[in-house]
Amino acid sequence: MDKMQDAYLQIPYSGATTAVVIGESTMREADLLPFRAVLWLTQTESDPALHVPRGTSLEVVRTDRLNPAMLEQAIDRFVARNPRRMPSLFIATDAMAEKHASYQPLIREVRLALEAHHRARFTRQQDGFLWQQHLLTNMRAYLASRFPSTWAGRLGGYPAVVCGAGPSLDVSATALAGISDRAVVLAADSALRTLARHGVRADFAVSIDVAKTPEKCLPEEGAWTPDRTILSAISPPAWSERADAGKRYFLSGRQITLDWLASLGVAGTPVAAVENCGATALQLARFLGCEPIYLFGMDLALDAREPSRRNTKDADGGLYVNSGFNASLRMPTVPGNYSAVVPTHVIGDWRALDARLADWPPGLVHNVNDRGARLRNTVLVKPDNFRLDVAVPDEPKVTALRALDETSVDRNDSLLQAALQALRRSAALGRERLPSIRKALAQGGPEKAVGHLRLLLVDEGFGRAMGAFALKLMPHLVPPIEGDIAFWTKLIDECEELSELAGAG
C-alpha cells in the first residue's frame, strides 16, 4: 500500500485503466487521469464528480444502502470493464481513521472481492487450457458414466462420514476408523492416505480438481484404494485409468461446454461439483440420504499452533504448490470453533459452505474437530468425545452399497451421439480456419491474427466447445492487443490441440 497524498492511500495495479475509490476525502483530478472509469463507494451525499476528470466515466454507489450481494454485483460489473487489468484501489484516510468503524467492513469486502477476481483471472490464464484439455479427453467417459439420479435417498438410515484433509484429521482419524464399518465413508482425494494409514478404505473418493492426479492422492498400498471414485469433467484423465471403470462416476459442474451439452439434451447430474472435494462429498452424502453426517478434517482455517500447515501430514506436499498459498500473508478471519475468530486461506469456500449449511435441517451435520472455522447449523464435537450413538440399519453397509453398483447410470445413447456430433462439427470449423490464422499471424502480426480469432469465437458452437480455453483467450482479443509472436503462436497451438480433441470424440 503506497501513500500518494495525505487524503488517500493507493493499492496500485500495473496498467490499470479503472479505479475503485472508497471514502469521502477530496481527490485531485490528476490522481485519476490514468483511469477511464471510476467506481466511487461512499456513505455520504457528497458529489465526487467535481473531482473526476472530464470524460472519465463515474459510477457513485452509496454503500450504506446496499446489502452484501448488491455490493458484490456492483463490483463484478465494474471489474468487467477491463477483462485484462484489475482496478487500482484508493482508500481515503478518513475511512481508515475517524470513520474506521463504518468503513472497515466495506474495505474488507471490497478487497476480498477484488482479490477473488484477481485469483479467478490468474487461474483462468494458468489452467484454462488444462481444464478444457481434461474435459475433452474425459468427454466419452463423462457421457457414458454420469452420476446416477436413481441413487437419490438409496442410503437412507446410514450415517455418513465426510472426510476433508485439514490438519485436524491427524487427530480425529482414530475416532473415524472406529466407526468406518457402520458409516458410509466419503473422502476428499487428499485425505485417502491418512485414511489408509488408519486402516480405512473410502466407500466414495471425490476428486474434482484439475491438478490432483491419482499418483499424488492414492495410498501406495493398493488394498486401500477407494471402492468408488467420483470425478468431475476436468479431473485428470489418469483417474479413469486407475479407477474401476464400473465404479467410476462423473459429476457435472460450472463448465461452459457442459452447459452447452445440457442445452442439447444431456442434462447435468443431480449432484454437481462445488467448491472443493470435501464440500462436494457432503453434497453427495445428503443426496444419498445419509443421516446424520459427520464432518472430519473440514477445518477451512489455519491453526495458530501450525500456521503454515493447511493439510493432513500424509497429503502430498506438491498438491498445492501452485495455489498461491503463503502463510506469512495476513489472512481474512471468520468465526472459529474454539476461538472468536480464526484466519482462513479459503474464505470463498468457507462462505459458500456456511451459507449452504444454514439452510439444512438442524442436527443433520456434526463437525468433529479440535480447531477450525465454525459452520452454522452444525453440532460441534471434540474428537475425544465422539461416539456413534445412532441406530444403523440391520442390512450391512456393504450390501446397500453393492445394490447401488447394480443400478444403471443415466444414459441416452441417441443424445450422447448428438452431443459428440456437435463437438465434431465445432472441431471441424477450428481445423478449417486455424491454418489461415497462423498465416495471418506470420504476415500481419498479432493485430491481424486477432481479427480472425474473433470471427472464429463468434461461432456459438466453437466458443462453447472451447469452454474454459475460450475464457482464457477472450480477454486477449480486447484492445490494446498485447503479446509477441511467440505468445500468440502458443495460444493458436493450444486452440489447435483442443480442436483435435473435440473432433476425436
pLDDT in tens, 84-115: 999 999 998 878 777 878 888 898 889 989 99
Structural domain includes residue 133: no
Residue 195 has pLDDT above 90, yes or no: yes
Which of 43-52, 155-164, 338-347, 358-367 is predicted least confidently? 43-52
Mean pLDDT across the stretch 417-438? Answer: 95
Structural domain includes residue 130: no
Same domain, 378 and 441: no
Helix (H, G, I), strand (E, B) or coil at 20: strand
Sign of CA pseudo-dihedral 300, 306, 308, 313? negative
Same domain, 200 and 318: yes
Q: Which residue has the higher pLDDT, 332 or 250?
A: 250
Same domain, 102 and 197: no
Percent of the chain whose predicted confidence (pLDDT) is above 70: 94
Which of 73-77, 208-212, 326-330, 487-491 is predicted least confidently? 326-330
Cell of 247: 465404479
Residue 400 has pLDDT above 60, yes or no: yes
CA dist list (Å): 286 to 150, 162, 274, 283: 14, 10, 14, 5
Structural domain includes residue 135: no
Same domain, 236 and 353: yes
Residue 378 has pLDDT above 50, yes or no: yes
321 pLDDT tier (thresholds 50, 70, 90)? low
Residue 458 has pLDDT above 60, yes or no: yes
Helix (H, G, I), strand (E, B) or coil at 362: coil
Give the tens place of pLDDT for each residue, 469-480.
999 999 999 998
Mean pLDDT across the stretch 273-280? Answer: 97
Q: How many residues does the chain have?
A: 505
In our burial notation (b when 16+ CB lie closer than 10 A, e otherwise), range 456-486 reads bbebebbbbbbbbbbbbbbebeeeeeeeeee
pLDDT at 415: 85
Cell of 16: 490499470
Same domain, 311 and 334: yes
Domains contained in the chain, number: 3
Strand pairing category for 293-296 and 378-381: unpaired
Residue type, 56: T
Beta bridge partners of 368: 296, 381
* Cβ atoms of 78 and 40 closer than 8 Å: no
Same domain, 168 and 278: yes
pLDDT at 303: 85
Check which CATH number belongs to the domain holding 206 and give it: 3.90.1480
Mean pLDDT across the stretch 450-472? Answer: 95
Cα separation, 87 vs 96, in Å, equals 20
Same domain, 112 and 228: no
pLDDT at 69: 84
**Torsion-angle region of 228 (φ positive above 0: left; ψ -120 to 50: alpha; else: beta):** beta
Of residues 334, 356, 336, the one with CA closest to residue 346: 334
Boundary (domain end) residue, out of 360, 382, 405: 405
Cα separation, 134 vs 235, in Å, equals 6
Same domain, 330 and 417: no
7 pLDDT tier (thresholds 50, 70, 90)? low
pLDDT at 48: 67
Structural domain includes residue 104: yes
pLDDT at 320: 63
Boundary (domain end) residue, out of 405, 430, 448: 405
Cα separation, 197 vs 219, in Å, equals 8
Residue type, 38: V
Same domain, 154 and 118: no
pLDDT at 1: 39
Cell of 465: 466447445
- CB neighbours of 416 closer than 8 A, spacing ≥ 6? 143, 144, 266
9 pLDDT tier (thresholds 50, 70, 90)? confident
387 pLDDT tier (thresholds 50, 70, 90)? very high
Boundary (domain end) residue, out of 386, 405, 424: 405
Give the tens place of pLDDT for each residue, 133-146.
999 999 999 999 99
Judge if pTM exceeds 0.85. yes
Percent of the chain whose predicted confidence (pLDDT) is above 90: 71
Same domain, 258 and 342: yes
Same domain, 50 and 160: no
Summary mean pLDDT of the chain: 90
Of residues 430, 484, 489, the one with CA closest to residue 457: 430
Helix (H, G, I), strand (E, B) or coil at 429: helix
- Domain boundaries, position 447: 412-503
Cα separation, 292 vs 159, in Å, equals 5
Which of 21-35, 419-433, 482-496 is predicted least confidently? 21-35
pLDDT at 498: 97
Mean pLDDT across the stretch 62-83? Answer: 89
Same domain, 174 and 296: yes
Residue type, 48: P
